[in-house]
Structure formats: C-alpha cells, structure tokens
Amino acid sequence: MSRKAHTPPAARGAPSARAAPDAPGDLSPEEFRRYARRVADWTASYLAGLERYPVMAQVAPGEIAARLPPQPPDDGEPFDAILRDIEQVLLPGITHWNHPGFHAYFANTASVPGILAESLTAAFNANAMLWRTAPAATELEAVVLAWLRQMMGLPASFDGHINDTASISTLVALAAAREVVTDGGVRERGLAGGPRLTLYASQEAHSSVEKAAIVLGLGQAGVRKIDVDPAFRMDPASLAAAIARDRRDGCTPMAVVATVGTTSTTSVDPVAAIADICAREDVWLHVDAAYGGAMAIVPEYRWVLDGCARADSLVVNPHKWLFVPMDLSVLYCRRPEAIRRAFALVPAYLMTPEDGLARNLMDYGPALGRRFRALKLWMVIRTFGARGMAQRVRGHVELARQWREWIEEAVGWEVMAPAPMSTVLFRHHPDGPGRTPDRPARLPESVLQAHNEEILRRINASGRAFLSHTMVQGRFALRLAVGNLRTQRRHLASTWKLLRRIAAELATPP
C-alpha cells in the first residue's frame, strides 16, 4: 500500500475538491404527515373493529415467515406496499392482545394515550442512560413513579425506577440483595469460594424468580420452594423452618420473594408475617406484585399490599393491569443505594459534570441504554386520572366476580381456586358439582383434563375468545383473566354462552 493511502485527508492541507455527497436522509416532513395520518386512521379503525379479528392468531408455525421474502429489498419500497403487507401478511399472525375477548395469561391494554406516547417516545429517541442524555426522561420517571407510589399507598421511602419487565426488576432487586448479604464480596470476587446463598419463594412464585437465581449464580439448587396453604399462599411457618434449616447447614439466606397476585391463581402471600421473619433473620424481602400491585390503586382493595411497606423492594408492572402498552415494569426499592452498589460502574467516557448531582439511570441495572418509558405511564395517568384508573381496575374485578358467579351457579361447572383479583380458575366437570355420597364422582382426572383441554382448544379456535390454562394441585384448570379496557359484560356473556355450547356439544366423557 502506498504512503499516500495512509495519509488522512485533513493532513493533506486544502479540503478535497471532491466533497463527499450527503448520505440519503430520512423521509420528508410532508411524507411523515401523510403516512402518520394513514397509520393513525388505520389504528383507530383497527381498535374500533377489533372484534372482526380472531383473538388468537389462527396460523401454524412457520406460516407467516413463509409469506415473507427471505432477502431484504435492494431499493426502498413505497409505504403503501409496506402497509398492505402489514394488513395482508402480518395481521393474520397477530394475536390481538387488545381484543375484548382476550382473557389469557394476564389480560392487559395498550390504551390510546399509551399508543400515542409510544409514537412520541420513538420521535424523541431519548436514551436515558445519563441525566444529560435525557434530563426530562430521567426527571419525569422520578415524578411519575412518585405519583404511582402514592396511588398504590406505598410509603415515600420507596424509590422507583423503570425496567422493561418484571423478570428484570426482580433480577435487579435480587442482585442488590446479593450485594448486601455479601457486603460487596460478590461484586469484587465473584461467587467462587463465597457463601452458599439461598433464596425463598412459594411453590406458586413466578418462574422469573428461579431464573434470577440461575443468572445470579445461586443455581436452581439455591432456591427453596416454600409450601402453600389451601388458598395457595406461602406458609410462613414453613418459610421460617427452611431458613433455620439452611442456617444450620451453613447456607446464607439471601432473600425471600413474596407474591401479591400469583400467576396461576392470583393468591396473595401473607406479606406482613413474611416481613416479620425477614426482619428477624435480616434477610432482604422482595415482593412480586407484577400483576396484583395494580389492584392497590383502588382504595377498597389496598389490602392487597398489607405488609408491603416493610419490603426492601417491590415490583409492579403497569404494562399488565394499568393500561400502559408493553413494556414497562416498575421496581420500587427502599435501599436504592444497594442497587447502585450492585450495578454502578462508570468508565471515563460516561463521566459527566452532573455526577453526584443528578440521577444517572444507567446505575440502576445491567443495561446502559434505556427507552423513555416514563412518558407513556405519565400520559396514561394524566388522561384517565388516578380516580379513573381506579374505576377501571374496580370494574375488572367486578366483571371477574360476575364470571365466578356464573360458574358457581351452573350445573356441571366448578370454580377451582379462590379468585381475589380479576382472574378466575374453573373447569367443566360433568359429574362434579352436585355429586352426593351415593353418587360419587366417576371421572378420573386424566379424562377431565382431556375434556377441558378440548374445550379450551375449541374456544380458542373459535377466534371469539382466548383463554389459557394452568394446573391447580395437579388438576387442569381453565383460566379467564379480565384486564382489557375494551372488555364489557356483554363480551363475557357471549364467551360464557359459547363455552357452555362447546361443553354441551362434546360427548360426555366416558
């Protein structure tokens, strides 16, 4: 290679006669206006006409990918063609979470203010890693999380920050717990040769707790799954016994995770009694209120967070039951300095004059970059108001109560677990309810399971409702969750009618 080729242009003196051409830019403001109106119109019609679509996508694995070109286009394509493909190719592969008939998992809502906020978030494209890279995002996050904290009745000592999901919020909280229990040892030296750390959660806790233990190096062997009572709540005596056993065996208890609104049955662990044990044992208490925490914004349901003021950390997901589009999870923590001790690591290129004066959100988790998520929560709360949000959550609890009553009153159907929130577990049991000592149940569990699995398959294939399932003490249960702003009593009534028709059509199990 010649010497000349190594000489940078600036060193060669005069600017080059041939200036580099501008790279092609973005679409023009006029194009943006035109397409944005079309997308807004399309979205408004989509939301208004959701009931035209099957709730659960009626496609087979691979079907959508097979309809898409495997290579990227060499040249840009007209926006019209892209929109057409969204409608014709992608839409059949969308499971419509915003559909009023969506009752699977935990039903949620991307509300209109949330959808609009997402568009602005993308326009700002603020990366809130440092205060100076996103002052408004950083400060709005603190303000809106203080609002939500008040709405939930949590104490002012709870400091909040936003993550993408509850799984990450729990991971961050437990990383802080690990930091505290090892007094910084893990951060410096890693786990090798350190104490054997243990983590406690009920048998009903979400899998994200166990996953956090895997990531944090405790391993699944470090997780103690504590027994539950007949209402699926953690048994404090079993918890205390497990901690005592581990201490005797030379383990170091790191944290307890209590759940407010378990995934399967929405049971609420006795947090106050668990907090007593954690205080006595000096163990970090994390509360997973990813779904159930939302219920506390309704004054008469605030009991769901009884005892939680004494937790070290608590996660709640506004993207589950607070009408905020995916994704937004809030981690509240009474010891934010422990989170910073676990995660803050500032290389020279990220140091700023504001360090120590303003919060840099990159210090609160493993990720550096982060989206401006606070905007959508702020816009949703401002649009509906705290009272309006509470009315909506209250309405969902009422709808679920209505569903439970229908099940309880119907012959041949049974409720499978207490339903303290907006989720009901039930099944069709042709010879179940109403049986007497001289007319004992004759259907084995395996037959009942196959029967209800078929009911579930048929209702989901109908496209009119989407339900999910779970296992309750080894028994298969259908699971209906209410959490979508578009769901009304009439939607539940038509789902109930359809379920009964499907059950009647199915031959009575042998």
Cβ 165 to ligand PLP shortest distance, Å: 3
Contact 276, 234 (CB under 8 A): no
**Coil, strand, or helix at residue 494?**
helix
Q: What is the 3-state secondary structure (H, E, C) of 5-64?
A: HHCCHHHHCCCCCCCCCCCCCCCCHHHHHHHHHHHHHHHHHHHHCHHHCCCCCCCCCCHH
**Coil, strand, or helix at residue 236?**
helix
Cβ 163 to ligand PLP shortest distance, Å: 8
Strands (E), 36-189: 159-163
Query: Which backbone phi and psi does 202 adopt, to 5 degrees?
Result: -75, 165
Name residues contacting ligand PLP, limited to 224-283 (CB under 6 A). 259, 261-263
Among 149, 178, 206, 479, binds ligand PLP (CB under 6 A): 206
Name residues contacting ligand PLP, limited to 97-116 (CB under 6 A). 106
Cβ 150 to ligand PLP shortest distance, Å: 23
Query: Which backbone phi and psi does 268 adopt, to 5 degrees?
Result: -120, 115
- Using left for φ > 0, alpha for ψ between -120 and 50, and beta otherwise, residue 205 falls in beta
Other CB atoms within 10 Å distance of the CB of residue 458? 16
When the beta carbons of 168 and 251 are compared against ligand PLP, the nearer one is 168
**Interface characters, 380-419, with ligand PLP (x: CB under 6 A):** ----------------------------------------
Cβ 169 to ligand PLP shortest distance, Å: 8
Name residues contacting ligand PLP, limited to 317-346 (CB under 6 A). 317, 329
When the beta carbons of 206 and 464 are compared against ligand PLP, the nearer one is 206
Q: Does 166 bind ligand PLP (CB under 6 A)?
A: yes
Cβ 322 to ligand PLP shortest distance, Å: 13
Cβ 295 to ligand PLP shortest distance, Å: 13
- Which one of 20-28, 113-121, 148-156, 286-294 is the stretch in contact with ligand PLP (CB under 6 A)? 286-294
Among 127, 165, 203, 383, binds ligand PLP (CB under 6 A): 165
When the beta carbons of 97 and 413 are compared against ligand PLP, the nearer one is 97
When the beta carbons of 448 and 481 are compared against ligand PLP, the nearer one is 481
DSSP symbol at 196: E
When the beta carbons of 169 and 449 are compared against ligand PLP, the nearer one is 169
When the beta carbons of 133 and 263 are compared against ligand PLP, the nearer one is 263
When the beta carbons of 277 and 481 are compared against ligand PLP, the nearer one is 481
In the structure, how many helices (H) and strands (E) does the chain have? 16, 11
Supply 486's token pair: 């578009």
- The type of residue at 495 is T
Cβ 97 to ligand PLP shortest distance, Å: 13
Q: Does 423 bind ligand PLP (CB under 6 A)?
A: no
When the beta carbons of 232 and 496 are compared against ligand PLP, the nearer one is 232
How many residues belong to the site for ligand PLP (CB under 6 A)? 15
Residues contacting 160, CB < 8 A, separation 6+: 141, 142, 145, 146, 148, 149, 330, 331, 332, 333
- The type of residue at 203 is Q
Q: Does 422 bind ligand PLP (CB under 6 A)?
A: no
Contact 352, 360 (CB under 8 A): yes
When the beta carbons of 130 and 324 are compared against ligand PLP, the nearer one is 324
What is the distance, to the nearest Å, from the Cα of residue 60 to the centroid of all Cα atoms in its chain?
26
Rounded Cα–Cα distance for residues 398 and 393 (Å): 9
Interacting residue ranges for ligand PLP, rule: CB under 6 A: 106, 165-167, 206, 208, 259, 261-263, 288, 290-291, 317, 329
